[in-house]
Structure 1
């Protein structure tokens, strides 16, 4: 049975590789919910799992850079400190640390293995995880460069927004199937897509019922997926040209993503949802107070306020009629968030972070290489892997990306830039709670690529504006 979905994936992938249509773009986003699906049989890869999203990204990168003009622009952008130069510095530092640090500090530093027994620290030594994790990071880096080139096109931006909508719908569908598996015999439909070699926690139950995992490895990864899609779709939907998708499908999908993020019963996702609601409220207030005229940003202000008010009234009314619902919700939040500090899982994850920080100190700030140790904090994972210098490059690039602004005449670009900033906050906070590696993954690659494609730094922007004024001035005629 596993052969059939693998064959279907590769048929679509090869079609997209040779088609002029954006098949690979849709496949990239639609593959996001299949985090436990190996598109290459693990028996052929020595046990390594290649999931569809990075595999599709490789195909997209290869096809995009077959064009010599795009390739030269991409190389120039990667070396330009105003564009992707800082991220390139991070990658170069990561490569150097991964090649040398696990060998220089072998058996001299204690780390938490990326795979294997993670309940206790073990001596550092080179492993296949250094290679596989570095390969995934390189794919993410190449994907950033690729998106920074293709998303300069307004038509491709619309294609990506529609693909994001379809990905949200597919994520909800996989969540529904997994949720229904506790009542209906639908497990055989899901099993062919659960072929990854790493541990799959797909049948965990709480007193309130089954934790929904969709087709992801575990509930926390499914909750994180729902949250990431929710943030992007909610804040970016105003830039969608298709009226029905923007006004109807996107809001419905946002509501369903909230529901399935809740059903994942992931404590980090719950905190991420709280951050999302805070960002949504702040964004609405900022749009309401914004005196600059941008019709796209002002869309649906009244409707959103009415919908939020109606939702609050409806929830309050339901709570009055059925107080037991409020008790169940309070019990769930208390158990998954406030009592989380008393669980063995919380203690174990804190131990990962402590050991990784200690490894950074014991290597004099040089790090242990990509895949050398795992933490339960994305910032600690990055710095402990690549060292202080690599961390400066990486977080400097993040800050630079978030500070980019669209040209004044690009109204849609302004909407997208601001949307990406708001969408960044909840997912970044979740990463600080459960992020185990320094790889920023598919969502990070898309986000940084779009910010680089649309936005420019302040200095670069001023230079471009001066060039435009010179070009149109009477003296230059």
Structure 2
């Protein structure tokens, strides 16, 4: 085991923040997720497997939570209870990762997570325990810890502000780094980004017919897009509910624009699904939206159409190039060799489910291309039921869309719950793993924490994130209130 330079920087920053309020470490955790292609620690004993920065940052978050004095152990216990189904999901997945590959070894052939000498796109090997099973167990545990960290942070002073303000800055950084990386390919700047992509991940070709695909600090465009989709949705939802609307709205537009030109099928599916959800919500709950937000949404849509028309008039061939690129990354995927390979990977989940008698063959045993078939094949009936129950527990706050619009806690809670649920859609067509990801876990834990805070709201916050409908148009604040901060003790 050895630290990379990214890990050493994190070690210094994390150590300096240990005696600061938990909100500081929450921001540290959020921004560690930007380095999706980096390795903080390399485990040489496990085939040079990488511990990503976001999971390494969890070490400092939980050291702060578990401090003997001034920690938040009581809130951690509360978080375990609130996220109990996710706890069961994780524990079963970790147990299956160690036991299942040994129980069902040799009973079926699979496409492994790491394949260095594949003879074809559909090559397989007999099932056997590998280092990837341990890596998958670590990722599952990391997702659970992120959910618990998000829960505890939201229940402490300044947690809501840290999440909302941090999301705005993070959206800008993610968009800007992605655009800079795309437009500087072939220049010395590319070497700077390559320096941060020091994880043991496959670095894929990031261009298509002259379009430089946006990958930023991630090893591939789909990973960059999958991370960005979550923060795009969260900023959109905060803007929709007038939570720091001027900043969250601009951040959503900037990140959404970067996602649109990313040439990633994951980005197009994510944006498309969110737009359908947005429109369906307007039709089902027409009174739940504030008129000013609807006007702004219409103006933004018309502005986008105008810019597209100007671009097509200036460059007539652009329409054909862009449409060809989008079709290639979405509709044509199914008939391409890549699409057929992804379908083959996804179908492995059904085969593994049947061979294992519904128990699953263990996380990390095969590569999938869908979160749901990965859970089905690796964790079987228990994994499907516990994860589905957990998602249902998160969806419950979404039913409060039209309620308490003037309260920041309810607004941020619903934004977190909506984000956690919608980000599962791109994961359903692109995730190779059975863990739902750190973004899902963070927003899920935060939504459950904020829901618990709703019964008691009467406080005077230092400032208000939520803008009241009764406030004048130029007001920066309003009458929304934040729930009282809660502090745990060991």
Q: Is the 8 A contact 2:346 2:369 kept in 1?
A: yes
**Is the CA contact 1:238–1:415 (under 8 Å) kept in the aligned structure 2?**
no
Equivalent of 1:178, from 178, 181, 185? 181
Change (3 A) 1:3 1:131: closer
**Comparing 176-185 with 186-195, which one deviates more in the overlay?**
176-185
Report the 3-state secondary structure (helix = DSSP H, G, I; strand = E; otherwise coil) of the residue aligned with 1:403.
helix
The worse-fitting range, judged by mean Cα deviation, of 207-216 and 6-15 is: 6-15
CA distance 1:101–1:183, shift in 2 (3 Å)? closer
Q: Which residue of 1 aligns with 2:441?
A: 445
Which of these residues, 223, 226, 240, is aligned with residue 225 of structure 2? 223
8 A Cα contact 2:101 2:128, kept in partner = yes
- TM-aligned CA distance change 1:191 to 1:409, over 3 Å: closer
Counterparts of 1:104-183 in structure 2 under 5 Å? Answer: 104-117=103-116, 119=121, 120-153=123-156, 155-182=158-185
Residues 399-414 of structure 1 mapped to structure 2, 5 A cutoff: 399-404=392-397, 411-414=407-410
For the 8 Å contact 1:30–1:170, the answer to whether it is kept is: no
Task: Please give the alpha-carbon distance, in whole angstroms, between the structure 2 residues aligned to 1:92 and 1:402.
Answer: 23
Residue of structure 1 in register with 2:248 after alignment: 250
Query: CA shift at 1:321, angstroms?
Result: 5.5
Contact 2:222/2:266 (<8 A) preserved: yes
- Relative distance call for 1:31 and 1:240 in structure 2 (3 A) is farther
Report the CA distance between 1:241 and its aligned residue: 6.0
CA distance in 2, matches of 1:240, 1:31: 27
Matches of 1:183 and 1:97 in 2, distance apart? 45
Native 8 Å contact 2:369 2:429 kept in 1:
yes
Mapped to 1, the partners of 2:351 and 2:86 lie a distance apart of 25
Question: Which residue number corresponds to residue 234 of structure 2?
Answer: 232
Evaluate the alpha carbon distance shift between residue 170 and residue 209 of structure 1 in structure 2; reply closer, same or farther with a 3 A threshold. Answer: same
Map of 2:330 onto structure 1:
337
Kept after mapping to 2: 8 A contact 1:113/1:374: yes
Query: Structure 1: how far apart are the matches of 2:146 and 2:111?
Result: 28
Contact 1:106/1:124 (CA < 8 Å) preserved in 2? yes
CA drift at 1:235? 0.9
Question: Cα offset for 1:361?
Answer: 0.4
Matches for 1:26-45 after TM superposition, within 5 Å = 26-41=27-42
SS of the aligned residue for 1:99 comes to helix
Detail structure 1 runs of 4+ shifted over 4 Å in the superposition. Answer: 2-6, 41-46, 238-242, 283-288, 405-410
Find the aligned partners of 1:371 and 1:14 in 2 and give their Cα distance.
32
Partner of 2:479: none
Deviation at 1:348, TM superposition (A): 0.9
Name which of structure 1's ranges 20-29 and 221-230 shifts more when overlaid on structure 2.
Answer: 20-29
> What is the match of residue 473 of structure 2?
none
Cα distance, 1:154 vs structure 2: 6.2
Residues 90-112 of structure 1, C-alpha deviations (whole Å, 9 max, x = no match) = 12322332232111111112222
Contact 2:30–2:54 (CA under 8 A) maintained in structure 1: yes
How far has the Cα of 1:350 moved from its partner? 0.9
Length, aligned pairs only: 445
Indicate how the Cα distance of structure 1 residues 169 and 115 shifts in structure 2: closer, same or farther if over 3 A, else same. Answer: same
Q: Which moved more, 1:406-415 or 1:357-366?
A: 406-415
1:377 matched to 2:370? The reply is: yes
Equivalent in the alignment of 1:475: none
1:420 aligns with 2:416: yes
Aligned partner (choices 213, 216, 237) of residue 214 of structure 1: 216
Matched, 1:393 2:391: no
In 2, Cα distance between equivalents of 1:4 and 1:137: 25
- Where structure 1 has 5 or more consecutive residues not aligned to the other structure, the ranges are 292-296, 462-477
* Cα 1:408–1:8 shift into 2, 3 Å: same
Unaligned runs of 5+ in 2: 456-490
Q: Deviations over 1:195-230 (max 9, x none)?
A: 1112122x4321132222111011111121222221
- Could you tell me the TM-score, scaled by structure 2's length? 0.83
Which residue of 1 is the match for residue 95 of structure 2?
96
Aligned to 1:271: 269
Q: Is the 8 A contact 2:404 2:411 kept in 1?
A: no
Counterpart in 2 of 1:304?
A: 297
Specify the alignment match of 1:50 in structure 2.
51
> CA contact under 8 A between 2:147 and 2:442: conserved in structure 1?
yes
In structure 2, C-alpha distance between the alignment counterparts of 1:74 and 1:290, rounded to whole Å: 34
For 1:466, the equivalent position in structure 2 comes to: none
Cα RMSD, aligned residues only = 2.9
